[in-house]
Chains A and B, each alone.
Chain A
Amino acid sequence: MDLTARFEKEALPQWRSLFRTACRLTRNVDDAEDLVQETMLRAYRAFNRYEPGTNIRAWLYTILHRVHQDGLRKKRRTPGLDELPEEGIPVPPPQAFVAAGGEDLSRALDKLAEPFRSAVVMRDLEELSYQDIARILEVPIGTVMSRIHRGRAQLRESLVGGAS
C-alpha cells in the first residue's frame, strides 16, 4: 500500500474527531474547518515520518495543536485583530441540548482560558490519555493533570454561578 492510500485509510477518517476539537479550540466553525484542512495537509506531507502502528490520533493532535498555536501567534502579531468581532458561523446548539442545559456547559467550556481548554477538550471530549496529552502539548504529565483539574474546577464554578 502506498503512502497516500495508507494516509486515506489511517489518518483521514480521524477528521471528524479533529474537527470536534478544532471547534472547541477556535470557537468558530469556519476557523475549525481551516484548522482541520491545514492539519490534514501538514500531516499528509509529513506522513512518511509517521511510524506505522503508533498512535495516529496522538500524532494528528500534535500537528493540530501546533497549527493552532502558530495561528494564535500570528494573530497576536497582528495588532487589533483580537478586538475584531469573530467572523464566520458560530457553533449552533441543537435544540434538545439547549433544553437539557448543555448550552451553559458549552458556553462555559468556550470561556475557559486556552491552556485549560485544550487539556479539558483532549481529555473530556476526546478521551486521550494523560501521556498522549503531555506529548501533544509538550508539557509534563503533572502539568496536564493540573490544567485539567483547574479547567474542570472553573467549569463547575461557572455552572454553579450560572445556575444561581
Chain B
Amino acid sequence: MTCNPELITGYVDDGLEPAQRTEVEAHLVTCAICLEQVAAERALHARLMALPSPEPRRGFENELRRTLHRARPSPLRVLLPIAAVLALAVLWGLRMPRVLAWELARDHRSCFSHDSLPAEVWSDHGEVVGAWLEAHGVPAPPFPDSASGLSLVGARRCPILDRTVVHLYYTGGDRTVSLFVVPGAVQLSDAHFRGTARRQAVRIFRVAGATVGVVGEHAEDVAEFERSYRSTQARLTPQAGGLTAVAALW
C-alpha cells in the first residue's frame, strides 16, 4: 500500500473494514509520515473532545419542556381531524369526485413543491415500484413506466381523505405527473369528471373496473395521459377490478 492519508483518518477513527485496517497497520510499520499523521490526528481529536461546551440561556431546558408540552395533542386536536375525515368519508359516499379531484390536485402540488420529492421508493421501473408497493401492503394495478413523455421516478404512500393512497411520481422536462392508486373499492360509481380544481385541468374516469383521474396544467396533456393510461390498462390488465387509480398531471 502507498500512503493514503484518508485511509489513515479512517484508521484513527476505527472506521475501516477489517481488510483495510490490516493493510494500513502493515503500512504503518514502515511509514514514518503516516505514523506521524496518526499521532497528530489522535492529538487533535483529544483536543477537540476537550473543547468546553457552551451553556444555553438559564431556563432553556424548562422552555424546551414547555414547548413540547404545548405540542402535546389535546383531545380537541385529535377529535377535529377525525371529524374532518368522517365528513370527507361521507363525501366519498355521496359520490363527489370534485372533492377527490381537489384533494389530489392539492397533494400533487404539495409534493412537487418540496425541494426533493418525498418518495419512499425510487425507480424508473414500474415492476420495481410495484413490487415495493405490494411488499408494503398496498398493491397497485399495473401502471406505465412512462406516458405522454413523462417517466416514472418513484412513489410513496400518502393519506388522502380517509385512506392510504399510493402516490406515483412521473417527470419529464418541466412537467410532472402524479398517479394515485386507492386500494379497495370507493363509491364513485358515476365518477366521470372533467373540469378544473386548484386551477388545473382534471379528469376522473373508470377503466376496466378501476377509477382513474388525471390532473394537469394543460387540458391537452390531461387528455393524452388518459389515452396512455387506458392503453396500458388494456394491454396489461384484462381484468383490472376492485382498485381505484387516480392520475394527476401538472
Q: Which residues of A contact B (CB under 8 A)?
A: 4, 7-8, 12, 15-16, 19-20, 23, 29, 32-33, 36-37, 40-41, 44-45, 73, 91-94, 97, 102, 105-106, 109, 120, 123-125, 127, 129-130, 141, 144-146, 148-149, 152-153, 155-156
Q: Which residues of B contact A (CB under 8 A)?
A: 5-10, 13, 15, 40-41, 44-45, 47-54, 56-57, 60-61, 63-65, 67-68, 71-72, 115
Q: Is the CB of A141 within 8 A of B48?
A: no
Q: Which residue of A has the minimal Cβ distance to B10?
A: A145
Q: Is the CB of A109 within 8 A of B115?
A: no
Contact partner, A124, options B49, B53, B57, B65, Cβ 8 Å: B49
Inter-chain CB contacts under 8 Å: number: 93
Q: Is the CB of A149 within 8 A of B54?
A: no
Chain A's nearest CB lies how many Å from the CB of B9?
A: 4
Q: A15-B61, A44-B71, A105-B48 are in contact. Are A130 and B13 (CB under 8 A)?
A: yes
Chain B's nearest CB lies how many Å from the CB of A147?
A: 10
Q: Is the CB of B48 within 8 A of A120?
A: yes
Q: A19-B56, A97-B52 are in contact. Are A123 and B13 (CB under 8 A)?
A: yes
Complex interface: chain B residues within 8 A of A125 (CB): 48-49, 51
Q: Which residue of A has the minimal Cβ distance to B17?
A: A141
Interface of B is mostly: helix
Q: Which residue of A has the minimal Cβ distance to B50?
A: A102
Q: Is the CB of A41 within 8 A of B40?
A: no
In angstroms, Cα B45 to Cα A81, docked, is 34
Q: Is the CB of B56 within 8 A of A33?
A: yes
**Interface CB pairs A-B, < 8 A, 8:** A19-B53, A32-B54, A36-B64, A37-B67, A102-B50, A145-B15, A148-B9, A149-B8
Chain A's nearest CB lies how many Å from the CB of B40?
A: 6
Not counting A16-B53, A23-B54, A37-B64, a sample of 20 additional A-B residue pairs whose C-beta atoms are within 8 angstroms of each other reads A23-B53, A32-B54, A33-B56, A40-B67, A44-B68, A73-B115, A93-B52, A102-B47, A102-B50, A102-B52, A106-B51, A120-B48, A124-B48, A130-B10, A145-B9, A148-B13, A149-B5, A149-B10, A155-B44, A156-B44
Q: Is the CB of A33 within 8 A of B60?
A: yes
Q: Which residue of B has the minimal Cβ distance to A149?
A: B9
Chain B's nearest CB lies how many Å from the CB of A39?
A: 10
Complex interface: chain A residues within 8 A of B5 (CB): 149, 153
Complex interface: chain A residues within 8 A of B56 (CB): 19, 29, 32-33, 36
Chain A's nearest CB lies how many Å from the CB of B75?
A: 14
Complex interface: chain B residues within 8 A of A148 (CB): 9, 13
In angstroms, Cα B7 to Cα A106, docked, is 25
Contact partner, B53, options A8, A20, A144, Cβ 8 Å: A20
Complex interface: chain A residues within 8 A of B41 (CB): 152
